[in-house]
Chains A and B, each alone.
Chain A
């Protein structure tokens, strides 16, 4: 996967309204990309719920979080609404997994590996973390350590 010091790759994801979200959107802000395997799956639910609980702290640190999965936009929106979370979701549905592959976090099983990537305002990767296995949930403390 991408590592600290590398420029973030070119990619194109879809926002909830279908508009593209690209590398250009990373510039000028500190971004935390939260790659997760599947909307509605148990560990992903716990992960996004936990991070959302401390969203104000991320904001206070100047960081903006995005959830990234290969689910369709409609599925992500339903997931977000069901949980009642504020973290914006970005879809890597079509072409499936292309952005995940660009970041080096595409699992052979056809979904994003559980991974975290922090990109600085200059578009360079500041920190990245890949869970040993998809069922491992990285604590929010790890992200704060890296910010």
Chain B
């Protein structure tokens, strides 16, 4: 990565403050009177947002070349397939046709 293509220092602080706000939202959201599914969707959504901020800015994927981005995304693609195939089995075992 060329050194001139990187986040500015103030961007790093901004991302950190955003991460802390998201952490507070996760902690407070976990105690709100909502359904179990709503809790899980909220917590997972916030975790994905935190991951995106860390991956794109702290890990500089936003500034990386295409090939590095492909390698960075490969693990997530396989993880998605891992979950998709497993749950397509477990969640449909009780189905009757």
A and B held together in a complex: no
Q: Which residues of A contact B (CB under 8 A)?
A: none
Q: Which residues of B contact A (CB under 8 A)?
A: none
